[in-house]
Structure 1
Amino acid sequence: MDSRRLRILESVLALFPESSPPVTRVGIELECFVDPAAGGRYGWDDHLALQERLRRGLPSLTPTVHSLGLEPGGQWELRSVALDGAEGLRAFARDARRIEQSLRDEGCRVAFQGIRPGGTTGRVISPDRRAHLLRDYLQQRSRSAAEMMADTAACQLTLDPTPWTDALELLRAVVRLRDDLERRWNPWRSGPSRREIWAQVDPERCVPPRGMSEGTWSDEACLDHVLSRPSIVAAAADGRLIPFEGSFYDAVAALPVGDDLAACFGRFMKHIYYPVKPRVMPELRLLDSREPERLAELEHLLAGLGLPGWCSGARRPAVLSTP
């Protein structure tokens, strides 16, 4: 590795804490599909207008919901505040259910599941430039790009800042337990699963290499592999988003925009889709969206992954085991 790449790699490693207390908090991004109950479909602006109406009436009734957002494929995303322990999970489940009921009162159909019900009906893609650049890039690799972006929904978990070594260990635990985790959480449905759709689109972004997942590579080699993936999108000197298939190393060197390295790394990691996104605040990505009342079960899932803050005596024993 040349000296320039080594300096960049060391600078990215320095973004991660050297140590951290046991993880006791989790943030949830719960996605769902929202469509008119009477049939038809909402356009992008219809989704935005509906979210704005809910924001005016719900905040005081749903304190654990930090924000409502739209994914690039039009999926709704309910983002939680930092939730502490099992009681936090239950509180967010109650608030998510209130939002679901408010949507039904507005005449909407709401589906918390991994694959869009009804096929491509209701599919919509964000007019945002980043979304279009991403879709154009992924469509060169698979005809499933639009299906991945618009027809899948997840329950994603974000943890507190974590050392790089610990983020990798979490990734390895999830890879080892993946089949068991998905069997317990993701219901069986006919047709391709969300996992299969994502893997078809771009395996290099969705499936970590064996050296990383089996622990035979060094921590530095794992990070170097991640930083060597194509960027897809970068910011030009004037701030415009442009297609850019160079690596993170290239983007940092060739396209400075005045951002610090943390901002550049955060932007780059948006397009890495491993079952655990190994960023400063790791994100578990393998779970399908599920009904809000199922969220309390995440306590067992987090304990089963060996996270110390969820394995204390105050918590019930883990229900997951290595196959």
Structure 2
Amino acid sequence: MTTSTALADHPTDDVLPDLDAAREHVAARALRPATTGPIGLELEAHLVDLASPGTRVPWHRVTAAVATLPPLDGGSRVTLEPGGQVELSGPPAADVTAAVTALRADLAAVRSRLGAGGLGLAPIGTDPCRPAHRVNPGPRYVAMEEHFRAAGHRAAGVAMMTCTAALQVNLEAGAPADWAARVRLATALGPVLVAVSACSPLLAGAETGWRSGRQRIWAQLDPGRCGPLPGGADPADEWAAFAMAAPVMLVRGPAGDAVPVRGRTSFDEWVRGAGPTDRRPTVADLDYHLTTLFPPVRLRGYLELRYLDAAPEPWWPALAAVAGTLLDDPVAADTAAAAVEPVADRWEPAARAGLADRELHTAAVTCLEVAADRAPAGLRAQVEALVELVGRRASPGDALLHTARTDGPAAALLAAAHDTEEGT
């Protein structure tokens, strides 16, 4: 890949001169050389009224509760999603053990503070009982909902925004010579780890028939925005091509607010003069466009793994350790690459059947066993528990489903909100 520096130091309000410059701007920032090992974690959780779990927490109460949070010792940043979900984004840590330790401590602190106000956090892939409904009035989310409506994806779009929660694992890109294989493996692991992490069998009070209803929701959205990268020889150029072909969702209005795009216009069409507005796109417009793209592995200078369901203890720490080990440990990576090659495109079976799919289960067992053997000592017990779960073709969502069938979906949400490390 030949990287242009034409736009490297330009102000973000500079107009993009042509399509080549736009592509080079994206490709130059897709991946940056870095030693593997450091890791960042982000965990989303549904906010629950412990006295009335079937009712979505109103926005004024959400913001009032979060406003009381002190700075967190682990350095996590707390943000709010469209449905009132709470996201903890930890800073990069030296390794996965340190990342899990810090995020776990911050999660406990947030739970304790919110619990004093009668609220709980449920880290599970989908909200099992409450209908999809946006409570966050942020202009970006209002505009996103309008875009999905105009594009014919409103139901899936609102469900994605308000009823899903994920564990996101952020890994360094590694050496440039390894980028193609590394991005290919990160993407190919997706179906196996979707099946392993599956913790979203219910939505809006009903069983969906899917082990990962969260992944199903993402699959119902535009593949030009949410589909996987091809996995070829130059991931940076592929990311740039993906970004240019993807439909524009939002543009900045005169006051800097988000304005929805109601027609289907790709970014490269905008650069060529047939865009959603009369003005030409700028560097800032392109950077904003990148924030609206959601492939399973997003390139942000590092690798952002977006396909894991949020799950309660001990599963989210185990999943973080497995993902980090399978990509950052050379022995584990080689074993995983061979194991997942036959199932690298089985996204739908992974979401629908999970580990009941024979080929996915075979690949998962191989990956989990090598991960357990190579995982850091501080997280090996959690990974071994996940190995045992996978061996039974089970997933983290099975306990949720059992509670829902016994006591109802609201009880399942409440149980997840009461879950703690000590109580697992």
TM superposition score category, shorter chain reference: 0.7 to 0.9
Match in the other structure for 1:53: 68
Relative to the length of structure 1, the TM-score reads 0.80
Judged with a 3 Å threshold, the aligned counterparts in structure 2 of structure 1 residues 164 and 75 are, in CA distance, closer, same or farther, namely farther
Deviations 1:30-55 (Å, cap 9, x if unpaired)? 11111211114321121111000123
1:286 equivalent among 307, 317, 320: 307
- Say which structure is richer in helix: 2
Query: Partners in 1 of 2:21 and 2:34 — Cα distance?
Result: 28
Decide whether the 8 Å contact of 1:16 with 1:161 is kept in 2. Answer: no
2:217 pairs with one of 197, 203, 209: 197
SS of the residue 2:300 aligns to:
coil
Q: Which residue of 2 aligns with 1:247?
A: 266
Counterpart CA distance in 2 for 1:129 and 1:9 is 28
- Distance in 1 (alpha carbons) for counterparts of 2:114 and 2:50: 10
Could you tell me which residue of structure 2 aligns to residue 93 of structure 1?
104
Partner Cα distance (1:265, 1:131) in 2: 19
1:37 aligns with one of 50, 64, 72: 50
Q: Bigger CA drift: 276-285 or 162-171?
A: 162-171
Distance 1:296 1:147, change over 3 A: closer
Q: Could you tell me how far 1:199 is from its partner in structure 2? A: 0.8
The 5 A counterparts of 1:1-323 are 4-16=18-30, 20-39=33-52, 40-55=55-70, 59=71, 62-85=72-95, 86-120=97-131, 123-139=133-149, 140-142=151-153, 143-160=155-172, 169-187=181-199, 189=201, 190-191=207-208, 192=210, 193-208=213-228, 212-213=230-231, 215=232, 220-244=237-261, 245-249=264-268, 255=279, 261=283, 263-297=284-318, 298-306=320-328, 317=374
Aligned-pair distance for 1:180? 1.9
Q: What is the percentage of aligned positions where both structures have the same residue? A: 24
On the 8 A contact 2:171/2:324 being kept in 1, the answer is no
Contact 2:79 2:88 in 1 (8 A): yes
8 A Cα contact 1:158 1:283, kept in partner: yes
2:309 match: secondary structure: coil
Are the aligned partners of 2:27 and 2:239 in contact in 1 as well (CA < 8 Å)?
A: no
Amino acid at match of 2:18: R
State the alpha-carbon separation in 1 of the partners of residues 235 and 40 from structure 2.
Answer: 29
Shift in Å, 1:90: 2.0
Separation in structure 2 between the aligned mates of residue 5 and residue 178 of structure 1, nearest angstrom: 31
Greater mean deviation of Cα atoms: 162-171 or 147-156: 162-171
Contact 1:164–1:219 (Cα < 8 Å) also in 2: no
Cα distance per residue 1:83-129 (max 9 Å; x no partner): 221133223213212322332232123211001131317x4332122
Q: Is the 8 A contact 1:234 1:251 kept in 2?
A: no
SS of the residue aligned with 2:307?
coil
CA distance in 2, matches of 1:129, 1:108: 26
Matches of 1:273 and 1:188 in 2, distance apart? 19
Amino acid at match of 1:285: R
Contact 1:97/1:292 (CA < 8 Å) preserved in 2? no
Q: Is the 8 A contact 1:34 1:111 kept in 2?
A: yes
The aligned length equals 302
The answer for unaligned runs of 5 or more in structure 2 is 1-16, 202-206, 334-371, 376-382, 388-424
Q: Structure 2 CA distance, aligned partners of 1:157 and 1:88? A: 10
CA separation of 1:46/1:10 partners in 2, compared to 1, >3 Å: closer, same or farther? same
- Specify the alignment match of 2:6 in structure 1: none
For residue 79 of structure 1, report the CA deviation from its aligned partner: 1.4
CA distance in 1, matches of 2:244, 2:93: 31
Deviations 1:38-84 (A, max 9, x none): 114321121111000123xxx2xx31143211012221111112222
C-alpha separation between the residues in 2 aligned to 1:161 and 1:216?
Answer: 15
The corresponding residue for 2:421 is: none
**Does structure 2 retain, via aligned residues, the 8 Å contact 1:174–1:305?**
yes
TM-score calculated relative to the size of structure 2: 0.62
Give 1:167 deviation, angstroms.
6.0
- 193-202 vs 96-105, greater mean Cα deviation: 96-105
Q: Tell whether the 8 Å contact from 1:33 to 1:116 is kept in structure 2 after alignment.
A: yes
Structure 1: how far apart are the matches of 2:30 and 2:194?
A: 29
Q: Who wins on radius of gyration, i.e. which is larger? A: 2
What is the CA-CA distance between 1:29 and the residue it aligns to?
1.7
